[in-house]
């Protein structure tokens, strides 16, 4: 199994900090601010997909392993932005439940369906926070004897990983705050927001 480190990630732009969403939207009174806009997400998906397509241009079979539920939006956009053929598998893991910090215990809610031995795997994640989910998953995948495993994650909170995570393709480093949108939830809500944002404190007090 091989893994490599990511090149430096971009930080959220000043445009995102200032971005204003539709004041008539259902979530307008629940979102404190936008961290990454829909446009920035779209450009980053294209950029990451270009890099992966070029790195795996000569690979016969690339297998994307999406981590449900959080990576669902990114996986769908990323797979369609690639210019190389792929197969897709999905795993569902949970370590957060309805909380805003990791329980540290990872549970498999849905496993991979096919034999991945000898395959080049790209794990598609929405966020690396404590790193516990991915650290567990990389060990698990390693045990299935793939040819290589790389990680693409849209977000990472730098400085808070409790374990060392080798990430080759990274979207954005973001502040150490609990974020929602583009697949990320708080208590199963807000996954459908097209941007990444921070909730108002009163949402957690409900
Ligand atoms: O680096 P970590 O601290 O482990 O956090 C990252 C993981 O936590 C979230 O998943 P969650 O367990 O909330 O499940 P979900 O994707 O179904 O929301 C997120 O989607 C990542 O998979
Ligand atoms: O900031 C976050 N938001 C939503 N889900 C998460 N899972 C890990 N970190 C986060
Ligand atoms: Mg979650």
Q: Name beta bridge partners: 149.
A: 121
Domain contains 1: no
Which numbered ligand comes closest to the C-alpha of 181? 2
**What distance in angstroms lies between residue 186's CA and the mean position of ligand 3's atoms?**
6
**What pLDDT is stored for residue 3 in this prediction?**
42
Assigned domain for 5 exists: no
Structural domain contains residue 41:
yes
161-180 residues labelled b (16+ CB within 10 A) or e (exposed): beeebebbbbbbbbeeeebb
Does residue 193 form part of some domain? yes
How many independent structural domains does the chain possess?
Answer: 1
Q: Around Cβ 55, how many Cβ atoms within 10 Å?
A: 17
Q: Which atom of ligand 1 is nearest to the CA of 126?
A: 20
Our answer on whether the CB atom of 102 is closer than 6 Å to any ligand 1 atom is: yes
Distance CA 76, CA 148 (A): 22
Mutation to probe ligand 1, out of 70, 91, 189 (largest number of atoms < 8 A from CB): 70
Element spanning 48, H or E:
helix 38-55
Mean pLDDT to the nearest integer, 114-126: 97
pLDDT in tens, 40-58: 999 999 999 999 999 999 9
CB of 95 sitting under 6 A from ligand 1: yes
Q: With 90 as the cut, is the pLDDT of residue 7 above it? A: no
Given pLDDT bands bounded at 50, 70 and 90, which one contains residue 94?
confident
List, for residues 61-73, the tens digit of each pLDDT value: 899 999 999 999 9
CATH value at residue 79: 3.40.50.2020
Q: What are phi and psi of 71, to 5 degrees?
A: -85, 5
Confirm whether 4 is domain-assigned: no
Of all protein residues, the one whose alpha carbon is nearest to atom 6 of ligand 2 is: 184
Domain of residue 157 covers 14-204
123 found inside a domain: yes
Q: Which of 96, 97, 142, 91 has the alpha carbon at shortest distance from 119?
A: 142
Residue 197 within a domain: yes
Is the CB of residue 62 less than 8 Å from the CB of residue 166?
no
Q: Does residue 164 lie within any of the structural domains?
A: yes
CB neighbour list of residue 182: distance below 8 Å, 6 or more residues apart? 36, 41, 73, 74, 126, 154, 191, 193, 194, 195, 196
């Amino acid at each position: 199994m091989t893994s490599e480190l990511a090149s430096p990630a971009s930080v959220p732009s000043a445009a995102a900090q200032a971005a204003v969403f539709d004041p008539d939207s259902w979530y307008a009174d629940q979102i404190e601010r936008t961290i990454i806009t829909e446009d920035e997400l779209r450009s980053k998906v294209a950029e990451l997909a270009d890099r992966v397509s070029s790195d795996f241009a000569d690979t016969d079979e690339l297998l994307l392993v999406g981590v449900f539920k959080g990576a669902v939006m990114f996986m769908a956009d990323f797979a369609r932005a690639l210019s190389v053929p792929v197969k897709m598998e999905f795993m569902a893991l949970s370590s957060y439940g309805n909380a805003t910090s990791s329980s540290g215990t990872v549970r498999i809610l849905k496993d991979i369906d096919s034999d991945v031995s000898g395959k080049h795997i790209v794990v598609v994640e929405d966020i690396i926070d404590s790193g516990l989910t991915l650290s567990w998953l990389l060990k698990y995948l390693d045990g299935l004897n793939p040819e290589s495993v790389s990680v693409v994650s849209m977000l990472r909170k730098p400085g808070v990983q409790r374990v060392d995570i080798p990430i080759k393709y990274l979207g954005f480093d973001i502040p150490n705050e609990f974020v929602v949108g583009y697949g990320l939830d708080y208590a199963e809500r807000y996954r459908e927001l097209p941007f990444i944002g921070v909730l108002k404190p009163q949402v957690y007090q409900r």
